[in-house]
Amino acid sequence: MMPARILVVDDEPQMLDFMRTLLEVESFEVETASDGLEALQRVQKEPVPDLVLLDVAMPGLDGLQTLERLHAIRPETKVVMLSCLSEPKTVVKAIHLGAQDYLPKPFQKADLDSVVRRALGRSGSPPEAGMHETAEDVGDGHFFLSASQVMRKIRGQVGMVACVNVPVLILGESGTGKEVIARLVHKLSPRANGAFLKVNCAALPSELLESELFGYEAGAFTGANKPKPGKFELCDGGTIFLDEIGEMSPALQAKLLHVLQDQRFSRLGGRSVVKVDVRVIAATNVNIPQALASKKLREDLYYRLNAFTLNLPPLRERPEEVPLLLRHFMVRFAERFARDPLPLRSTLVDAAMKYSWPGNLREMENFVKRYLILGDEQQVIRDLQMNGAGEFAVSVPQASGEKPGKGDLKSLVRSLKDEAEIKAISEALQRTKWNRKAASRLLKISYKALLYKIREHRLGEPDGGPGPHPDSDRTEAA
């Protein structure tokens, strides 16, 4: 492949020399321009640069004005902004004008290399080859992966908005990875060493959610024997992620709005004011115009949260990422379950790429777990094909006592769960020669839970006898 051509635009000669040196070490072809007008003249000539590194603060035509004109001339040109300033309005405007990424000054060579690789992408390489480069650990077992142009663009936007202290609203279908994006924003921000706390606004009633967020004083309600700080206090200096913000009650939305405005609130039952420094990232899968029209989401809160919005596309709109994600989940879950990774042959990958994944990444995670448990490639391919055809008929082993359901999503999920449990338990019992205590340790569940599952699925001894009584394992080794 020909080396990428990079145009560096900066009004400081020392910076131009410094960046030329760093980039030429990596075998890039480097050109420089000392102001915006010179850069615009250059991009109108052939060959067009593959990437422009553009300083924000320049005399005359500044970086944002140059960016706007440059994209009017060459809309396909990739641009990374350079600046020693992190003004929120500047960064957000640069994103809206089409900047790929943002590199704050001063920077190290590794920072420059990373942003250049992301901006240029790896479109010529198979997803598998770039897996280790595109998988970013964002903490708590979550990873950000990108193999499509749209997700690389989102990664660039996250890198830009992370460095400015503004609220972020993440939109997308259920299972698209909104929490992963929130964690990535936190990791790349100056708050990375602070706490990151997630609150699911749909999981608690309004009264409990208020105490969870803002805490309470002793005597605030029955059972409040001692004061308790809320998530906002615990997250002081860090980031709080409010998932399913559209499910929060209007009254609580009003209190949240005041916290966003002045970073002050009172605990339930308290009179004193608590001041915190917390960045808020919110996410929802609701239809925003409908939620605003029905007053489910307060308009003033929406515009306060909407300092910057990230829209995550569903998995069906980025099928080129399917091979990368399958491989990543396979390696990850095989390690977690202490199993050898199973092969991802072309037939399975092709079926996965044709499937629409209505549950997005969450559904794919469960698919890979199921494949690891069953170990039957043909079965999981048939499941994908049937689900893709809109048929919900699944054959379940007779030991479960369940009849195959058709057209009932709950029955399908229950059947799939039972089938996976039966397979896993049966394999564990066979490997341990029906030593149930050893099998429970292998499955990482309690002994009583295993006995319950054996009775529930009517799994018998190897000779076909009935399932065990809870007291039948007294002689087994601990």
Q: Where are the domains of the chain?
A: 5-120, 157-311, 322-419
Name which of 127-131, 299-303, 432-436 the model is least confident about: 127-131
Would you say residue 91 has pLDDT above 60? yes
Residue 18's pLDDT is: 93
User: Is the CATH code 1.10.3720.10 the one for domain 322-419?
Assistant: no
pLDDT in tens, 247-284: 999 989 999 999 999 999 999 888 889 999 999 999 99
Residue 297's pLDDT is: 92
Q: Answer with the residue of higher pLDDT: 353 or 427.
A: 353
Would you say residue 60 has pLDDT above 80? yes
Among candidates 88, 93, 11, 92, which has minimal Cα distance to 54?
11
The pLDDT confidence band at residue 86, using thresholds 50, 70 and 90, is low
Q: What backbone phi and psi angles, to 5 degrees, belong to 171?
A: -115, 150
Residue 393's pLDDT is: 34
Would you say residue 441 has pLDDT above 90? no
The pLDDT confidence band at residue 145, using thresholds 50, 70 and 90, is confident
∠ Cα 124 125 129 (to 5°): 170
Residue 119's pLDDT is: 85
Cα separation, 238 vs 73, in Å, equals 41
Element (H, E) at 428: helix 409-431
Residue 233's pLDDT is: 94
Domain 157-311: state its class: alpha beta
Would you say residue 87 has pLDDT above 80? no
* Cβ proximity of 87 and 42 under 8 Å: no
What is the pLDDT averaged over residues 208-217?
91
Among candidates 33, 176, 10, 134, which has minimal Cα distance to 84?
10
∠ Cα 377 378 383 (to 5°): 100
In percent, how much of the chain has pLDDT > 70?
A: 87
pLDDT in tens, 121-143: 743 343 343 333 457 889 888 99
What is the pLDDT averaged over residues 331-335?
91
Q: Answer with the residue of higher pLDDT: 273 or 405.
A: 273
* Cβ proximity of 383 and 394 under 8 Å: yes
* Intrachain domains 5-120 and 322-419 with the same fold: no
Residue 121's pLDDT is: 73
Domain 5-120: state its class: alpha beta
Residue 357's pLDDT is: 94
Residue 446's pLDDT is: 80
Q: What letter represents residue 239's amino acid?
A: T
